[in-house]
Structure 1
């Protein structure tokens, strides 16, 4: 997945650079969405692309073991592990396409009891936004969603 992400970013940057050379306008001045976000969104069709998640505040001492559920019970991330261990300020790639609307819950894995919910979000709109899972148990996480 990381190779795909790097290639799509490279292709998008090359396309943007070529168009800027012709117009003489920067992407920021033109008010455009960054090229890598456009490339990611195109791969999801009418859905939403979950980019990366950042731990702003963790619920436990030092690290949280987190995962994402969709629709209440289906674990969608991470795919190859039970959870991802995250420290405050750490960012981890999610790289996941979902259909809209998407109801997501960020969960904190607990090996001796039921898992704890950090927060729930609903993604409905056609926009590039940052959503926050907050604040059950004191945790706060931000996830980027590109449409």
Structure 2
């Protein structure tokens, strides 16, 4: 069943790329992006690929310093304590997590305990967006490819 779903996604991506080529959009760029997404999803095996995180609303004035945990362990970002995000900004996460993982989007604080913006449980076999809301007024969305 999972293989059939991946093949149908690939067929749909090819159809979209073909339609975009007719509309004058560079089909090669679209096809490359679709192949990269499929490859990333396939490397997760039975897990779920976390794609990009978008800030829909921030909890502090101007920017939030956010990081992501899975089952209580920080998984993103790997190069620092947090990523500073403004409303409308999107950043790549590019992480694999297991089905059933408890995700928490956290707001980093230097002196106080870190604040939870929101949490989600990853479900399997579904490509979807997860929303983290509304700790301190922050609201974020992350794409997940099953």
TM-score class, shorter: 0.7 to 0.9
Tell whether 2:145 aligns with 1:122.
Answer: no
How many residue pairs get aligned? The number is 121
1:135 aligns with 134
Tell whether 2:55 aligns with 1:58.
Answer: no
Q: Which deviations, in whole Å up to 9, do the C-alpha atoms of 1:49-98 show, x marking residues without a partner?
A: 00010000000000000000111x21110011000000000000000011
1:75 aligns with 74
1:84 aligns with 83
Tell whether 2:108 aligns with 1:109.
Answer: yes
Q: Which deviations, in whole Å up to 9, do the C-alpha atoms of 1:86-141 show, x marking residues without a partner?
A: 00000000000111111100000011100000000011121110010001110000
Give the superposition deviation at 1:28: 7.7
Asked if the contact 2:98/2:122 (under 8 Å) is kept, the reply is no
1:11 aligns with none
2:113 aligned counterpart, secondary structure: coil
1:3 aligns with none
TM value normalised by structure 1: 0.76
Give me the whole-angstrom Cα distance separating, in 1, the residues matched to 2:95 and 2:105: 14
Question: Once superposed, what is the RMSD of the aligned Cα atoms?
Answer: 2.1
1:37 aligned counterpart, secondary structure: helix
Give me the whole-angstrom Cα distance separating, in 2, the residues matched to 1:60 and 1:35: 37
Asked if the contact 2:51/2:93 (under 8 Å) is kept, the reply is yes
Unaligned runs of 5+ in 1: 1-14, 21-25
Give me the whole-angstrom Cα distance separating, in 2, the residues matched to 1:89 and 1:107: 18
Give the superposition deviation at 1:35: 4.3
Unaligned runs of 5+ in 2: 1-9, 19-33
